[in-house]
Chains A and B, each alone.
Chain A
Amino acid sequence: MNIDSIKNGIVIDHITAGKGMEIYKLLGLDSLDCSVALIKNVASRKMGKKDIIKIDSDFDVDTDILGFVDPDVTVNIIKDGKTAEKKTIGLPERLTNVLVCKNPRCISVTEQELPQIFKLTDKERRVYRCLYCETKAK
């Protein structure tokens, strides 16, 4: 299967196989006008299988969402048909308006204009807690 290479845009590589669609949706790629390719189950030496997303435009990727869903992905920025920058993402220290606090006693549940902020409190166990009430994200 051939997908044209892109001239100026972004390639999200090394997505854990099966997570491509989730990332596609969370990043809101369905609302873009440009060409977007989601390629599933690509053979990978390192991972066995992986997903790849190619976006044929200069799109500002939300690395917080990306890092939270799949911290081992790489983001390649393509300029004039060449890789201009390669970024590894990792777990973000803070997530803003990605998760919603489920604690009915939390101020962010009552005052809905407050940003929903979660902070990484345990990197090893990948635990995020609400900034306001410290409830664990589910």
Chain B
Amino acid sequence: MRHRLQFAGKKLLRMILLLLGVSLAAFLLMNASPLDPLQTNIGQAALGSMSQEQIEVLEAYWGKNTPPAERYLQWLGSALRGDFGDSLLYRRPVLQIIGERLGGSLWLMVSAWILSGVLGFLLGAAAGWTRGKWPDRLIRGYCLLISSTPVFWLAILLLLVFAVWLGILPIGLSVPIGADAASVTLADRLAHAILPALTLSVTGVANIALHTREKMIDVLESDYVLFARARGESKSSILLRHGLRNMALPAITLQFGSISEIIGGSVIAEQVFSYPGLGQAAVSAGLGSDMPLLLGITVVTAALVFGGNFIADLLYGVIDPRIRRRAAHK
């Protein structure tokens, strides 16, 4: 038990250090940007008509006069106390905006994450099982096709087919236009989330399926499956008893490793469907040079990714007897 806690503690520490690294890297990158936040947000013409004092006030607001090191330390100091600063675009605390937006995105991401994980696992396992035969060819073909397709184009295509031509699903946003919050039903929300979630799932499947297929083939070519067959175990027994058991570990790695991809995909899908989620906020923040918000989003999404890896590591310790027993022996 102590060993397990030590292991978790070490991982956690590394994760925190990595997060610090991410925040610093993101800060430095944004700081290096030659794009002038004043010009992007107020415009050359408007700036020209302003007095020097007005410009100075604005510059102070956008943080142009403080040296970068000091600004980062200031940010870090308040971030550690739970204050990520105020968004320049929305003029509200960054964390508040991230909270709202994450609420909207979470639906999307979790459903796509589960759907693509389950579907990808099943398709990959099926392809590996039927290696070289037509189901395998079909699934591999699909994966190759999808991984060659730009995500945003796929989103546009789905939008065109289901929203414009068939007219069965709404075009964008997360609620009907003009509806007040009280009258929005769960069905409305669901209908608006279907297309973005579908886009994310369809693309997420390809990667997971291809990797699962490879693992499946590895398992089927292993010595222990050969021996199981030599001992007369049936095909179903080999699949259920040995196949799934040995696929569980790589599946966990894949599933938790795909968080980053799902978030990345949601940035694009939300943009196409004007879905007011975290991804769309990231794009707006980037385009509007809203440094506190973009920094906040980067740190929060990186925390999600690292958190996923952390959970995967812990699950490994629980599932893999080689880790579990060794820990117990110590």
Are both chains from one complex?
no
The residues of A with any CB-CB pair to B shorter than 8 Å are none
